[in-house]
Every structure is written in C-alpha cells, then in structure tokens.
Amino acid sequence: MDFTFVSDHLALDFSATLTWRASYPIELLTEPADLAAWATQARLTDHPGRVTRTALERARLLRESIYRTAVAAERGEDAAVADIQLIRECASGPQVTVALKALGEVERRGGIEEVLSTVATRAGELFGSDDRHLVRPCAGAECTRLFLDRSRAGSRRWCDKLSCGSRANATAYRRRKAAALPSEAEALPPTVPRDA
Ligand SMILES: [Zn+2]
C-alpha cells in the first residue's frame, strides 16, 4: 500500500491512516505489515522488523490520541488529559537513529517501538509549541485530514491540491458550467439519478 504524506508533519500524516473519519472511515493500518510499511514510507527506519498485533493496537491508540489532540489544538480547546498522557508515555522510549553512510545516503535504524516513540516525540513537539495553531482541517468535502498551514498568508485549504483541491475545483467548474449553459444541460438525454 502507498501511504500519503501531505500534512507537512509526521504526526498528522500518521493520524491520517484512518481516513474519511466522518462519513465512511477506512482503516489503513489493518495488519501489522501495514504499520511496518508506513514506518518505512515515512522514512523513519530502513528495517522496522517484525511488528506484533500488540504493537499495532498500541499504534492505533497513539494515532487516535494524536488525532484528538490535533483537533483540540485546531479548535483552541483543551486536549484530553488521557491523550496527553499517552503521547507523553509513548515518547519516553528509545528513538530511531539516523546515521550518515555516504554523501546523499543515510542509514535509519529502529524497530517499531522506536518508530512509535519518535512519532509521539514529534507529536509532543508540535502540540507543545506555537505550531499547534497552524493545524487545519482539509476543506475537501468529507476529507478529515489535518495539515500544518505554513503558507505565509495562512491560506492553505487542502491536504493535497492534486486530490482534494482538484476535486473541489472540478465540482465548482461543473456547477458554473451548468449555471452558465442551461440549454446544454437541457439537451442532455434524461438519466436516472444514481442515488435514487
Ligand atoms: Zn483533503
């Protein structure tokens, strides 16, 4: 599986491994191997090793604590004490290491425990700093991804311009076209609404 990294923050990308949360949630971390693949694609470690079911469960709990805390930060609300505690506890273990191998090449070492500690540490750095005020929800319909708006004007709206952004633009374009060209719309053959 190819995971998406568009949030401008590792912890927010991790929180998006449960997608479309409000409408039809899709769990992307269904198997231990999915977590291993995420860790590698996130470039946290070259060899995550064997991932247990217990580690997967722990990863999902951490992810949900990160998501809820990010939403609280975005809304300017208080975060749940239990979520803060879990993020703090997960961050206390050993972290992944990055060692230079040659010019343009590094070795990233750590198993899944180190990976989760590192994700929790990054989450702690985000929520403990002023950057937490830059957390935004994607404006895409039904998209529940969060991202950091680092644009100078504070005007970033989409998790990903190429997916959510272009989908929204295509919808707006169709609406404008339908409004501007009623005769063309009337000339179309009648169709049965798909949702009927
Ligand atoms: Zn989106």
Q: How many CB atoms lie within 10 A of CB 141?
A: 10
Length of the chain, in residues = 196
Query: 169 C-alpha to center of ligand 1: Å?
Result: 13
Which residue segment(s) compose the domain that 27 sits in? Answer: 10-187
Domain contains 1: no
Q: What is the pLDDT of residue 145?
A: 96
Residue 7: which of 137, 114, 115 has the closest Cα?
137
Query: 138 C-alpha to center of ligand 1: Å?
Result: 5
Query: 190 C-alpha to center of ligand 1: Å?
Result: 33
The per-residue pLDDT string of the chain (196 residues; one tens digit each, 9 = 90 and over) reads 899 999 999 999 999 999 999 999 999 999 999 999 999 999 999 999 999 999 999 999 999 999 999 999 999 999 999 999 999 999 999 999 999 999 999 999 999 999 999 999 999 999 999 999 999 999 998 999 999 999 999 999 999 988 888 776 677 667 777 777 555 444 444 455 555 4
Domain contains 4: no
CA distance linking residue 194 with residue 67, whole number of Å: 34
Q: In the chain, how many domains are there?
A: 1
Domain contains 5: no
Q: What Å distances lie between residue 56 and 30, 126, 149, 154, CA to CA?
A: 8, 23, 29, 35
Q: What is the pLDDT of residue 173?
A: 67
Domain contains 154: yes
Burial tier of 117 (Cβ tally within 10 Å: 0-12, 13-18, 19+)? buried
Domain contains 66: yes
pTM recorded for the entire structure: 0.85
Contact 93, 114 (CB under 8 A): yes
Q: What is the pLDDT of residue 170?
A: 73
Query: 92 C-alpha to center of ligand 1: Å?
Result: 32
Domain contains 192: no
Domain contains 196: no
For residue 164 the two structure tokens come to 């959510």
Domain contains 14: yes
Query: 2 C-alpha to center of ligand 1: Å?
Result: 16
Locus of tokens 């070795």: 107
Query: 145 C-alpha to center of ligand 1: Å?
Result: 5
Residue 94: which of 116, 123, 64 has the closest Cα?
116
Query: 158 C-alpha to center of ligand 1: Å?
Result: 5
Residue 159: which of 131, 137, 133 has the closest Cα?
137
Query: 28 C-alpha to center of ligand 1: Å?
Result: 16
Q: Helices marked H in 21-132 — which ranges? A: 32-41, 53-75, 81-90, 112-127
Query: 14 C-alpha to center of ligand 1: Å?
Result: 14
Q: Is 93 helix (H, G, I), strand (E, B) or coil?
A: coil
Query: 105 C-alpha to center of ligand 1: Å?
Result: 32
Residue 155 sits in a domain whose CATH number is: 1.10.3300.10
For residue 33 the two structure tokens come to 């191997």
Query: 6 C-alpha to center of ligand 1: Å?
Result: 9
For residue 118 the two structure tokens come to 């590192």
Contact 34, 1 (CB under 8 A): yes
